[in-house]
Amino acid sequence: MKTLTYVTALDASAGALMLCAVLLVWRRDLAALVRLLSVQGLALALIPITLGAHQRDGELLAVGIGVLVLRAAILPGVVARVLRGEPRPRETQPLLNTSASLLAVAALTVLAYAVSRPVVTLDPTPATHAAPLAIAVVLVGIFMLVTRRRAMSQVVGFLVLDNGIAALAFLTTAGVPMVVELGASLDVLLAVLVLQILSGRMRVKFGGTDLDELRELRD
Amino acid sequence: MSTMLLLGPVAVPLLAALAVAIFGWRRSTAYASVVGGCVVLADGGMLAARTQARHLALGHLLRADALTALMVIVIGAVSTLAIWASIEYLGVEINAAHTTSARARQYGVLVNVFVTTMALAVLANNFGVMWVAIEATTVTTAFLVGHRRTRTSLEATWKYVIICSVGIALAFLGTVLLYYASLHAGATAGALDVDTLAARAAQLDPGVTRLAAVLLLLGYGAKVGLTPFHTWLADAHSEAPAPVSALMSGVLLSVAFSVLLRVKVVIDIALGTGFLRVGLLVVGLLTLAIAASLLLVQRDYKRMLAYSSLEQMALVAIAAAAGTKLAIAALLLHVLAHGLGKSVLFIGAGHLQLAHDSTAIADVTGVIRRNRLLGFSLAAGFVALLGLPPFALFASEIAIARGVADVHLSWALAVALPLVVVAFAAIARQGVAMLLGPAATGSPALVFRRAVAAPMIVGLLACGLLGVTAGPLSQVLGIAGSSLASVQ
């Protein structure tokens, strides 16, 4: 792969990752969140695939395809099952309105660039120059977890956070060791499956998945 | 032989889980699980004997040193007691039709897999695998916390999984950054291995390592129960079945902390001892303040025990901040003694909960008059937890205080001491209210069956014995202390 196309492809994937995160904050329709999550998984998978093609690294290419299957198909599929049987598939009342949320995302992106300075300066390559965007995606994921009130949007927030971490791992180190990658992917899948089962039980017990119902336990 | 010792704590509970999965939760498989816990304990003892001079390793996968041996001992001891107590607990629940045999089977499988994941976390030779194991503990305990399937237990489970997964995700971010720094410090194969990282620590880039250190402290801190992610702890502990609370409180928190101790060795070389010391002190003292204030207003005895664990973990964090050989050795003794004492209390609390169908302190009165043996066992558990002699927490708390004073952190002691006194008074007052005095009219009869009494009494004896003499363990504590100490 020519250097220029390599850099363009890498920047485009990281940019698409971030754009999806912004759109996820913007949209209220829960079905749209699942589609966006799937697109974000695709953007994430393009990072190791681009790196693998550039470095002629077959293992990295294989990891990229694994990431594609897991994050663009399987995980959004599990999230979609949370949605099934939902009477009102919309985020009703997030703690912040849309414009305030988008402003917060802008602020978080600036923050991400500020805190990730040492990451870029340690090894300034085209890949690490995109690393601040991965950190921004992590922060956006945490932001979604804190401000959203529906069980499914929290699961989406958790996966956005996780996508950001995976992107950072690929951009800085071309991926963590294989055994860790496999274990971490399995953990994420199991955690999301657990959350899916719990949200099903929640619908039976509480008649919905509004997290404001969760307020019986306090001191 | 050493391969078997390294594989044992991971494989034996897994086999027990398999047995429960195939044959269901019945007398034979339940006792097989208890024996599995004993095997882990014995394995820990043999590891302790063999890791005195050097550490054992199995490729890049598993590794054992004195800290590992001690943590395997804690895991084995507490899981033996907790699974033993589970037999009676599940039996009563099945008799009262609160649970089904299918759910008892699920419980038995998950408890054993939970022990396996904890053993993997302390035996892993790689910071990435340690992370995978700690996150796996969250996944395996989720349905254990939600075992009772009530509205409140569902709420507790949701909060537990979300908060711990997010916290642990931050730790993964920190691990990735540590890996990045390690690769740029010249490490190639096994750049996340415990020994490789310790050897390369001096060359790690300080900027990236600082970022990693903060994330690792916050992330693993979430699983230990340290602020700002401590909120899951009381909910999960109060809703989980009592033997599971015993396991979580007694070992899970300290297993997560042992990972933090390993991280600390690397960070201290890379950034100097000051960086994590400040972080641990801030987090530890804040957690202590939160625990003490919530203990004061507590009206639920299982939540009270949970906040007491928060208090103990805060003390452990402060001891780690001091970082002397004495402080680390005392911290590890504290972890073992607290694991035993807290399990005894949770097992007893579970028995009270089953009898009263309530966890409110006000509903439980005059336990000593109603059943002398249960009352005195609980009283002894409280005495142990409050750090009074002859139990081991007395020795470990004094040694922690000395360790902290040795590195001129007396101001931290001055802040911590009043908080510890407040927590002491709060727990003592609630304990007295429940145990002493006359029983309220209409209190249900307390039957203290041998199956519940045995694990409690064995746990108390072990905790008391440890307080009189640590025996051969004192040498292992010393070795672990000096290998993890950041200052001499």
A193 assigned to some structural domain: yes
Tell me, letter by letter, the H, E, C secondary structure of chain B: CHHHHHHHHHHHHHHHHHHHHHHCCCHHHHHHHHHHHHHHHHHHHHHHHHCCCCCEEECCCEEECHHHHHHHHHHHHHHHHHHHHHHHHHHHHHHCCCCCHHHHHHHHHHHHHHHHHHHHHHHECEHHHHHHHHHHHHHHHHHHHCCCCCHHHHHHHHHHHHHHHHHHHHHHHHHHHHHHHHHHCCCCCCCCEHHHHHHHHHHCCHHHHHHHHHHHHHHHHHHHCCCCCCHHHHHHHHHCCHHHHHHHHHHHHHHHHHHHHHHHHHHHHHHCCHHHHHHHHHHHHHHHHHHHHHHHCCCEHHHHHHHHHHHHHHHHHHHHHHCCHHHHHHHHHHHHHHHHHHHHHHHHHHHHHHHHCCCEHHHCCCHHHHCHHHHHHHHHHHHHHCCCCCCHHHHHHHHHHHHHHHCCCHHHHHHHHHHHHHHHHHHHHHHHHHHCCCCCCCCCCCCCCHHHHHHHHHHHHHHHHHHHCCCCHHHHHHHHHHHHCCCC
Q: Are A119 and B180 a contacting pair at CB < 8 A? A: yes
Structure-model confidence comparison of residues B393 and A83, the more confident one: B393
Using a CB–CB cutoff of 8 Å, tell me whether B100 touches chain A. Answer: no
Q: Is the ipTM of this complex over 0.90?
A: yes
Residues B192-209, buried b or exposed e (16+ Cβ, 10 A)? Answer: bbbebbbebbeebbebbb
Q: Are A176 and B176 a contacting pair at CB < 8 A? A: yes
Of B92, B147, B89, B108, which is closest to residue B22 (Cα–Cα)?
B108
Supply φ then ψ for residue B58, to 5 degrees: -125, 90
Q: Are B211 and A119 a contacting pair at CB < 8 A? A: yes
For an interface test with A, give the residue of B150, B165, B229 to mutate (most A CBs within 10 A): B165
Whether the predicted pLDDT of A89 surpasses 80 = no
Question: In this predicted structure, what is the pLDDT of residue B420?
Answer: 96
A216 assigned to some structural domain: no
Q: Are B158 and A205 a contacting pair at CB < 8 A? A: no
A101 assigned to some structural domain: yes
Query: Sign (positive/negative) of CA torsion B250, B136, A167, A159?
Result: negative
A7 assigned to some structural domain: yes
With residue A144 as reference, give the H or E element that holds it. Answer: helix A131-147
A217 assigned to some structural domain: no
Question: In this predicted structure, what is the pLDDT of residue A209?
Answer: 79
Smallest Cβ–Cβ distance between A172 and the set B151, B158, B176 belongs to B176
Structure-model confidence comparison of residues A92 and A94, the more confident one: A94
Q: Are A118 and B207 a contacting pair at CB < 8 A? A: yes
Q: Are B179 and A198 a contacting pair at CB < 8 A? A: no
The model carries a pTM of: 0.96
For an interface test with A, give the residue of B60, B145, B177 to mutate (most A CBs within 10 A): B177
The per-residue pLDDT for range B178-207, each reduced to its tens digit, is: 999 999 998 887 899 999 999 999 999 999
For chain B, list residues with pLDDT below 70. Answer: 488
Neighbour-count burial of B406, counting CB atoms closer than 10 A to its CB (0-12 exposed, 13-18 middle, 19+ buried): middle
The two three-digit tokens of residue B94, written as one number: 């099945």
Using a CB–CB cutoff of 8 Å, tell me whether A204 touches chain B. Answer: no
For an interface test with B, give the residue of A135, A139, A154, A198 to mutate (most B CBs within 10 A): A198
The per-residue pLDDT for range B429-441, each reduced to its tens digit, is: 999 999 998 888 8
Using a CB–CB cutoff of 8 Å, tell me whether A121 touches chain B. Answer: yes
**Cis, peptide link before residue B228, omega less than 30° from 0:** yes
Question: In this predicted structure, what is the pLDDT of residue A170?
Answer: 96
Q: Which residue of A has its CA nearest to B128?
A: A180
Question: How close B467 gets to chain A, by Cα (Å)?
Answer: 34
Q: How many domains is chain A partitioned into structurally?
A: 1
Question: How close A121 gets to chain B, by Cα (Å)?
Answer: 9
A214 assigned to some structural domain: no
Surface of B (58-87) touching A: CB under 8 A: 61
Measured between beta carbons, the chain A residues lying within 8 angstroms of B173 are 138, 165, 168
Using a CB–CB cutoff of 8 Å, tell me whether B148 touches chain A. Answer: no
Measured between beta carbons, the chain B residues lying within 8 angstroms of A196 are none
Q: How many CB atoms lie within 10 A of CB A213?
A: 17
Question: In this predicted structure, what is the pLDDT of residue A88?
Answer: 66
Smallest Cβ–Cβ distance between B179 and the set A118, A176, A179 belongs to A176
Question: In this predicted structure, what is the pLDDT of residue A92?
Answer: 66
Question: In this predicted structure, what is the pLDDT of residue A186?
Answer: 95
Surface of B (373-392) touching A: CB under 8 A: none
Smallest Cβ–Cβ distance between A190 and the set B139, B158, B297 belongs to B139
Using a CB–CB cutoff of 8 Å, tell me whether A184 touches chain B. Answer: yes
Assign A1 a pLDDT band (cuts: 50, 70, 90).
Answer: low
A69 assigned to some structural domain: yes
Assign A204 a pLDDT band (cuts: 50, 70, 90).
Answer: confident
Question: In this predicted structure, what is the pLDDT of residue A79?
Answer: 92
Q: Which residue of B has its CA nearest to A204?
A: B151
Q: Which domain holds residue A75?
A: 3-209
